Amino acid sequence: MTMDSQNWLLLVISLPTTSATARMRIWRNLKALGCAALRDGAYLLPSTPHLQGQLQELAAETTRESGNAWLLTVHPQSGLGSAAFRSLFDRSQEYADWLTALSAARGMLPQQSTQDINRSLRKFRREHEAMAAIDYFPGESAAQAEAAWLEFLKEAEALLSPGEPQAVDTAIAKLDPAQFQGRRWATRRSLWVDRVASAWLIRRFIDQGASFLWLGSPADCPADALGFDFDGAAFTHVGERVTFEVLLASFGLEQDKGLARLAALVHALDVGGMFVPEAVGFEAVMSGARARAADDDQLLAEMSLVLDSMYTHFGNELPSRKTKGEQIVSERNA
């Protein structure tokens, strides 16, 4: 749909002055949807099936509260009018304020306790997701916020899980999985994205009989264990590749479409780089699972189900890829 043909939803409501509680409840719902207020009682949103359903529910609620409601589809008479409507949904100032707060919080991370770091992660994740949910025309501000959030997350996780490996500059040897069966593998405990994805990959595609040892320190790694994702490990960061990508290259798995897409996601969350639409959702699930899991064995079991599902999804996905804006709009219209 081009800007000139963009349809819009207009909800016009009025409530009795005695319905203060209902008025506040409906107003909060309208705000949560990111409506633009044209005037008191007149609220605008871009036209999508999902948003139409949400406004229909609010119109019905208004009627139940003895008010009046009209839900209309409107169309600007010119491209200039449509551009004016779109400008009502400019979130750049909200992103700028959030980025300022995020930058200040990032500067304080090294002095914070584990509990405070986790509290900051929850707070800024919640705020970021709330802004993105009502950013119907994402642009450069959204991209900047996404990049800043991933950098904040990376720094916070480095403090929560010290010992992140430094990349080495070496060739990646091609290995035969048959020589790596029934082995014990070891990595740093308190699993995060690269380590949990690598452990899943090992057990799913390399060594189905693998057992895992979660290390308090890389120095605790037994001589007979295959270490991964720490300095000096058998498998760790090489050049621009994170451990998951190194394992793919080592065992000849790079041509698998589903694994290649997972590799891009792991890379983005571990060291940054190209935007991956699914990264934020995966990071949120991983964070929640880690908060719930009693130990790393349970965490790996839970995240293995998620990774299995994402691998299947990526493997079945059509070859064409959507732009960031198209991806967000299509998800909201689903």
* DSSP secondary structure, 266-323, as one string: HHHHHH--S--TTHHHHHHHHHHHHHH-SSHHHHHHHHHHHHHHHHHHHHHS-S----
Interior CA angle at 93 toward 90 and 96, to 5°?
130
- On whether the CB atoms of residues 194 and 242 are closer than 8 A, the answer is yes
DSSP string, 50-108: HHHHHHHHHHHHHHHTT-EEEEEEE--SSHHHHHHHHHTT--HHHHHHHHHHHHHHHHH
Inter-residue contact 14 to 27 (CB < 8 Å): no
Alpha-carbon distance of 264 to 258, in angstroms, equals 10
Q: Which residues of the chain have pLDDT under 70?
A: 1-5, 79-80, 317-334
User: Which residue in this structure is represented by tokens 């264990």?
Assistant: 225
The pLDDT of residue 153: 85
The whole-number pLDDT of residue 305 equals 97
pLDDT in tens, 201-211: 999 999 999 99
Provide CATH code, domain 3-87. 3.30.70.930
* Cα-based angle 188, 189, 193 (whole degrees, multiple of 5): 80
Which residue ranges make up each domain of the chain? Answer: 3-87, 92-160, 177-326
pLDDT at 58: 95
pLDDT for position 273? 76
